[in-house]
Amino acid sequence: MKKNRKNLALLLLAASLLAGCAGQSNSQSSQSSQAKSEKKAESKASSKSAAKSAASSAVSSTKSSSSQASSKSAASSSQRADANRMGTLTSQLRVKLPGMLLPAADGLGQGSSNLNIRYTSSSSQNVVYYSVGNSPLALNDSRIASEKPYAVLTEKKNVADASSLINYQNPKTGLPAVKIASNVTGTEEGAAGSTYLQFNQGQWSFVVRASNVQGQKPLPTAQKLLSLYQQYGLPDTAAKSSVQVDVGESLGSLNTVITWAKGSSVYQLKAHSTETAFKMLKSLS
C-alpha cells in the first residue's frame, strides 16, 4: 500500500513537471511570436519612415530645382529687359539724331534697368548724356538733367580741321622709356605736378596722366588701357585719334576721353570708367 502511494506521488510529480515544461515552452513560444510581431511592426514602421523621408527629399529637391529655375528665369528676364531699355532708347535717339553714330550697349555692369538718356541738338553739334537714376524715365525727361552722367557722347558736325579737336600726340623721343607690355613701350615725362605716360598704337595715341600730389602712378592704368584696347578695339578712323585718361575713376568724373573723326564729324566720348567707354564704343553703329 505504501509502495502504491509512493508510486502515485511520483506519477503526480512527473505530471506536474511535464505541465510546467509545457507551460514554459508555450510562454517562450508566445514571447518569440510577440518578438517576431514587434520586429515586423518595427520593420513596417521603418519602411514607412524611409518612404516618407524619400518622398520628402524628392519634394524638397523638386522645390529647390523649381526655385533655381525660377531665379534663373527671373535673372534672364531682367537682363532682357535691361537690354531692351537701351535698345528702345537708342531707337528713339536714331529718329531724333539721324546719321549720328550711337552705341547699342550701355557699358554698365549694373543699373541698366534705371538707365536714362537725354540729348541736345543744334546745327553744329549733338550731345547725348547717359546716366543711371532712381527710376527709368522717358527720353529727354527734364528730371534727367539733375543726374550725373556716367558717359557723354558728342558729335561735332562739318568740322574743317579735325586735328585741332582730336589732340593726337606723336611718339616722343629723348624721354625715359617705360615698358608697358612685352611688345609695347611708352615714354614718361613730368610736368606741372603730374606724370604723363604715352604710347602709340596704329592711328591712336594713348596718354595717361597721374597726379604726383596724390601719389598716383600711371603705369598700372596704362597697362589696363592697353589691355582694353587689345580686347575691344576702337572705332575705325582714317584720321589720327586720341585716348586720354586721368588716373582714378569716380561717378561723374568723366576721366576717360576718347576722340576720333568719322567723315566730316569729330566724335568724343567721355566716361567715368575706361572699361565702360570701350564697351560702348565696341557697339557703335
Q: What percent of the chain has pLDDT over 70?
A: 71
Q: Is the pLDDT of residue 52 over 60?
A: no
116-144 per-position pLDDT tens digit: 999 999 999 999 999 999 999 999 999 99
Torsion angle of alpha carbons 97, 98, 101, 103, nearest 10°?
Answer: 60
Site of grid cell 524619400: 54
pLDDT classification of 96: cutoffs 50, 70, 90: very high
Q: Is the pLDDT of residue 70 over 80?
A: no
Q: d(Cα 252, Cα 121) in Å, to the nearest integer?
A: 22
What average pLDDT does range 5-16 have in this prediction? 46
Check residues 33 and 176 and name the one with the higher pLDDT.
176
150-171 per-position pLDDT tens digit: 999 999 999 999 998 999 999 9
pLDDT of residue 10: 46
Domain layout of the chain by residue ranges? 82-280
Residues in Cβ contact with 108 at an 8 Å cutoff, skipping those fewer than 6 apart: 115, 132, 150, 276
pLDDT of residue 83: 61
Average pLDDT, the chain: 81
Q: d(Cα 219, Cα 186) in Å, to the nearest integer?
A: 10
Three-state SS across the chain?
CHHHHHHHHHHHHHHHHHHHHHHHHHHHHHHHHHHHHHHHHHHHHHHHHHHHHHHHHHHHHHHHHHHHHHHHHHHHHHHHHHHHHHHHHHHHHHHHCCCCCCECCCCCCCCHHHEEEEEEECCCEEEEEEEECCCCCCCCCHHHHHCCEEEEEEEECCCCCCHHHHCCCCCCCCCCEEEEECCEEEEEEEECCEEEEEEEECCEEEEEEEECCCCCCHHHHHHHHHHHHHHHCCCCCCCCEEEEEECCCCCCCCCEEEEEEECCEEEEEEECCHHHHHHHHHCEC
Residues in Cβ contact with 123 at an 8 Å cutoff, skipping those fewer than 6 apart: 157
Q: Is the pLDDT of residue 107 over 80?
A: yes
What average pLDDT does range 167-182 have in this prediction? 95
237-260 per-position pLDDT tens digit: 889 999 999 998 877 899 999 999
Q: Which residues pair with 177 in a beta bridge?
A: 187
